[in-house]
Amino acid sequence: MKKILFPLIFACAVSEPALGGFLPEGAFSKDARGSVGAVFLKNISSPKFYSLGQSGSAMPSPESFFFNPGASYCEKKNCLYASYQSLYEGAYSNELAWTLSREKGFYSFAFQSMGYGSFDKLNSRAEKIGSFSPSDKAFIFSKTSAGGKFNWGFNLKIAQSDLIYEKGWTAALDAGLLSMPVTPNEASYSIYMRNFGNPVKIGGKSFPLPFELGVGMAKPYSFFDLYAEGKFPSYDNPYLTAGLSLPLFYSKTSEAQARIGFNPKNKKYLGWGSAVSGGFGFRIGALTADYAYAPYGDMGDTHRFSISWRFNEKENGFQNRDSFRYETLSRIYMKNRFFASVPLANYAVSDYPNLGLIFSREIQYCILESGYKIPDDDPSVYSEAEKNLPYNPQEFCRVLAADYCIYGRIDSGKKKLSYEITVYDMNKKEEIKKFVLESPSSYDFKRAARQACSYILSD
């Protein structure tokens, strides 16, 4: 049922005759501009998405469910998120969200609002008798199912448009998918629909919701992450967006990124300057903060701010072997997994007296090439950590400040060498892998080390 639910929704959404008033006249073209209601549902405040030109539907994060409910992600048990954006002409919007991480996915509860500034209230003689502030708001429940080849999710939204003299209520559905990469350099892909629901009725008139379809891509590279997206709004022409995220610095407990985006949607009316956005973000421990700047030509500039807070560790059994992609996701996007490899104890007779050292180095090179991290290569720290092996691997990992520690031994056999490798998970505080590789001679150490690396990084 799950496999056919999304295609059915997708097919219904693109079938305009079957939807009647659910889509505006001239849907998916410029002829539909200005014909939808609850316009605040078009956009979200997230600085991450705006600084990337709104091309982040394949980016897992605590606030991603606003844009693609299949991309929600919280690495702790709880994530709190708050955002604020200062818009042109005194308008503003904000979002509040709480995401709970559970064994098979994520649940989110959110409030979204938008204010349009203060306006003068006049009587029949055009005399000022007060002021009023129109606003919109939405309450959102989101469910994301995770742990398989694809993450999928949906949002249920109850929205209100309050124009002071008239109010309108409606309900809407979002749905989305996110493909889960298995290796650090593999791209992830997204597909989503937003704001599928009944027209909002205001003043006796019905206005279709700002329904939208989209596909996205996120591709990690050595020095940046690339994002691209194709959007198909029912209220405008289709268009493409793109963005780059560039790391400024990184450590296990903190990081900073610069972002730049390109979105030509408003270029024709507001100029090329409105097509470029930018921003930055940083993480210190459990706190993440982001900022985005997006110009709107003569209408003015917009500024967006957000903070998120992650707290409460997950259960040790949360990331089990059946949910390997949780860990893969965390290593790729949160960049918070360190692998430490120390020289193998060498009990073999070979042509390389330091075979244990060069074998370990080859594993480290492979780990770095695969996009993962290793702790600072301080010989004194490694020497201190090695004193705890093989009887106290937990202390060994603690000294190196690593999430996964790799150690073992090399022995001689009849016309062969054997490499016994152990991987210790500091977060689970247990050995998660132990295997033996055989090699015909010490000259074949590079192939054996690369094979060991593939076993270590695979599920």
Please indicate, yes or no, whether residues 177 and 305 belong to a single structural domain of this protein. yes
Please indicate, yes or no, whether residues 117 and 59 belong to a single structural domain of this protein. yes
Please indicate, yes or no, whether residues 227 and 287 belong to a single structural domain of this protein. yes
Q: End-to-end alpha-carbon separation of the chain, Å?
A: 27
- 361-415 confidence digits (pLDDT tens): 888 888 888 778 888 767 778 778 888 887 888 888 888 888 888 998 888 876 7
Please indicate, yes or no, whether residues 164 and 293 belong to a single structural domain of this protein. yes
142 with 155: CB under 8 angstroms? yes
Q: Which of 28-42, 152-166, 294-308, 445-459 has the lowest mean pLDDT?
A: 445-459
Q: Residue 194's pLDDT is what?
A: 96
Question: H helices of 267-372, where?
Answer: 267-270, 324-329, 355-369
Q: Which of 154-168, 233-247, 319-333, 432-446 has the lowest mean pLDDT?
A: 319-333
- The counts of H helices and E strands in the chain are 9, 23
Please indicate, yes or no, whether residues 160 and 194 belong to a single structural domain of this protein. yes
Q: Check which CATH number belongs to the domain holding 410 and give it.
A: 3.40.50.10070
**Which residue among 273, 294, 311 closes a domain?**
311
Does a structural domain hold residue 331?
Answer: no
Please indicate, yes or no, whether residues 194 and 274 belong to a single structural domain of this protein. yes
Does a structural domain hold residue 330?
Answer: no
Q: Residue 55's pLDDT is what?
A: 92
Residue with tokens 């006049």: 122
Q: Residue 11's pLDDT is what?
A: 42
Assess whether pLDDT exceeds 60 at residue 81. Answer: yes
- 174-201 confidence digits (pLDDT tens): 999 999 776 667 889 999 999 999 899 8
Instruction: Give residue 444's domain range.
Output: 337-457
Give long-range contacts, CB 8 A cutoff, 24+ apart: 381-389. Answer: 382/342, 385/340, 385/342, 386/342, 386/343, 389/342, 389/345
Q: pLDDT: is 92 or 322 the higher one?
A: 92
Assess whether pLDDT exceeds 70 at residue 76. Answer: yes
Q: pLDDT: is 380 or 150 the higher one?
A: 150
Please indicate, yes or no, whether residues 379 and 448 belong to a single structural domain of this protein. yes
Give the pLDDT band of residue 316 (cuts 50, 70, 90).
Answer: very low
Does a structural domain hold residue 290?
Answer: yes
Does a structural domain hold residue 322?
Answer: no
Q: What average pLDDT does this structure show over 411-420?
A: 80
Give the pLDDT band of residue 314 (cuts 50, 70, 90).
Answer: low
Q: Please tell me the total count of domains within the chain.
A: 2
Please indicate, yes or no, whether residues 270 and 411 belong to a single structural domain of this protein. no
Please indicate, yes or no, whether residues 289 and 349 belong to a single structural domain of this protein. no
Please indicate, yes or no, whether residues 84 and 214 belong to a single structural domain of this protein. yes
The pTM is what? 0.68
Please indicate, yes or no, whether residues 140 and 255 belong to a single structural domain of this protein. yes
Q: Check which CATH number belongs to the domain holding 60 and give it.
A: 2.40.160.60
Proportion of the chain above pLDDT 70, given as a percent: 86
Assess whether pLDDT exceeds 70 at residue 19. Answer: no
C-alpha distances out from residue 63 to 45, 142, 311, 336, 438, Å:
10, 11, 15, 19, 47
The 8-class DSSP code of residue 367 comes to H
Q: Residue 205's pLDDT is what?
A: 85
Assess whether pLDDT exceeds 50 at residue 355. Answer: yes
Q: Residue 69's pLDDT is what?
A: 95
Does a structural domain hold residue 328?
Answer: no
Q: What are phi and psi of 310, to 5 degrees?
A: -110, 135
Positive/negative CA dihedral, 375, 378, 380, 383 = positive
Assess whether pLDDT exceeds 90 at residue 293. Answer: yes
CA distance 237 to 26: 10
Q: Rounded to the nearest 10 degrees, how much is the dihedral formed by the CA atoms of 220, 185, 231, 175? A: -120
Q: Give the best-scoring range by mean pLDDT among 30-34, 310-314, 353-357, 435-439.
A: 30-34
Does a structural domain hold residue 325?
Answer: no
Q: Residue 290's pLDDT is what?
A: 96
Q: Which residues contact 40 (CB under 8 A, 6 or more apart)?
A: 93, 112, 113, 114, 136, 138, 161
Does a structural domain hold residue 327?
Answer: no
Does a structural domain hold residue 99?
Answer: yes
Please indicate, yes or no, whether residues 215 and 362 belong to a single structural domain of this protein. no
Q: pLDDT: is 300 or 290 the higher one?
A: 290
